[in-house]
Amino acid sequence: MNEIGLSPIDGGIIIIYLVGIIWYGIKKGKQKTSEEYFLAGRNMVWPIVGISLFAANIGSNTLIGLTSEAYSTNLAVYNYEWMAAVVLVFFAIFFLPFYLRSKVYTMPEFLERRYDSRSRYYFSTITIIGNVIIDTASGLYAGNLILKIIFPELDSTIIILILAGAAAAYTIPGGLSSVVHTEVIQALLLFASSMVLTYFCFAEVGGWSGMLAGLESLQPQGKSPEEILSLVRPLESDYMPWTGLLFGVPLLGFYFWANNQFMVQRVLSAKDINHGRWGAIFAGLLKLPVLFFMVIPGVIAIVIFSGLDITALNYYMKTEAGEVLCTDLADCPNMTYPLLIYSLLPTGLLGVVIAGLLAAMSSSISATLNSSSTLITMDFVKALKPDMTSKQLVRTGQIATLVLVLLAALWAPQIDRFGSLFDYLQIILGLIAPPIVAVFVLGLFWRRANGHGAIAGLSGGFILAIFIILSSVFDWAPALNEIHFLHKAPLLMLAVMLIQVLVSLMTAPPAAEKVEDMVWSVNIFKAETKELEGLPWYKNYRILSVLLLLVTAVIVIWFW
């Protein structure tokens, strides 16, 4: 293929965007009090909450990951997206009201109120580590993939540091208010650029029928078009067996949407419970079109780039033997999205789409940076120095953000060693999530769960997760290594639940006043039913939830 470059027009568009979004983010910043800086004053309305949730989730790492996985493993990767709508409905009904009524700043703080400080500090530590090595680092890595093609002579570390600086430029001074307001702009640009790319992809292959004809002709990996465009895979599937879809994917989704600080923090900024619920349901709705704008282009890439020599991209993948120049897209699927935009888009539009991708990157990075700095400040620093003023807390959060972004920038280049970006995200998440989800679920639905059981479950889950990781490296338990990671995750969750139940039953029950307002009951459901009487359907979150689930079911059945 020919050398790829960037025209002055495209470069100008990208620079104008970056400067503009930094200026807008700083302008919308709030930092007078800790509540303004970390939770945007708790006055966000539902459209902002929903768009912010979507934008924080669909970062450049997810966008590139979805497209590359669609190229490698086809439509099944969309299962992570539609399942988010189901998880968000469950979150809005059961968990969200408790989070907002408690007026907490962080998820670990909520865990302390339900259990004790041990659970809080464990969860806070794990979340900070996860935000750095999963979300922030992968976002920087994805941005590097795009810009490395334009500047092959520039070291990846330099590119990553530049991207980190751009994302931190408005996050550090402006806090969550800057993050949320810029996410609205970035989400709109991301949607627009994704639709543009989808149009050019279909134009290249002759529409839907042309894509099907191309897949029928190529039969990639011996698969028919029906198999490629199927969401549900057989039990022996290496990528996503149907049992993994049923038990593993919801677990990962629940952690990401209902327990992860950098996602839930957007809901905590809602002005009231209704706006929080409407925002969560709206975010679930926004996840559904991802199939057509972000996943399908990866499938079309199979037809467009089959057998193409990509040496001209100058992309070197890290392996145990060192850096290896990629010659075939099948060996370097992370380059699917960059190759699509550089090959298909004309001058001007290319700049807009790259700006959209950088928007996605900065959106997810700024989200994780702000949430991690919130955890460090409110869960650790404030606990050590409770007499700190709001201004001192804000300054601490700003320093924490700077340190975290530097750590993520140092880790990002190592992601190449994991092969697929999406595999990296899901496998690491599959070991972090189960203990946390187990403790939250038991805490909300079982009054007898106590602090001793919670910390025993979290600690036991951590030890088991470490053993699983080391076993995969040193082959300690070959049979364990053969288990799919989407099966390991629910099994790990069950093990943690068993530990927590046994330890809770062997120790004293929690004080009645401690769990009174922290455990779900049928009485809560009945009280909410009375509150919803007389509301128009478009304000009744239960009706909206059912409608969202119906739309989701139609899409899933269509591509079954």
Q: DSSP states of 423-459 as a string? A: HHHHHHHHHHHHHHHHHHHHHHH-TT--HHHHHHHHH
Phi and psi dihedrals of 477, rounded to 5?
A: -130, 90
Other Cβ atoms closer than 10 A to 154: 13
Tokens 């979290």 — which residue?
Answer: 458
- Cα distance between residue 62 and residue 279, in whole Å: 21
Which CATH code is given to the segment(s) 8-559? 1.20.1730.10
List pLDDT tens digits, range 275-301.
Answer: 989 999 999 999 999 999 889 999 999
Give the pLDDT of residue 12.
86
183 within 8 A of 269, measured Cβ to Cβ: no
DSSP letter (8 states) at residue 93: I
- Cα distance between residue 77 and residue 80, in whole Å: 6
List pLDDT tens digits, range 27-66.
Answer: 765 555 555 555 554 667 888 888 878 877 776 667 777 8
Give the pLDDT of residue 42.
62
| Spans of the chain, pLDDT less than 70 | 1-5, 25-26, 28-43, 59-61, 149-150, 167-181, 183, 314-322, 359-360, 363-364, 367, 416-427, 473
DSSP letter (8 states) at residue 328: B
Give the pLDDT of residue 127.
82
Give the pLDDT of residue 455.
95
116 within 8 A of 514, measured Cβ to Cβ: no
Pairing of strands 316-319, 322-325: antiparallel
- Phi/psi zone of residue 446: left (φ > 0), alpha (ψ -120 to 50 degrees), beta? beta
- Cα distance between residue 343 and residue 320, in whole Å: 31
Q: How far apart are the first and last CA of the chain?
A: 36
Helix then strand then coil, % of the chain, to nearest 5: 80, 0, 20
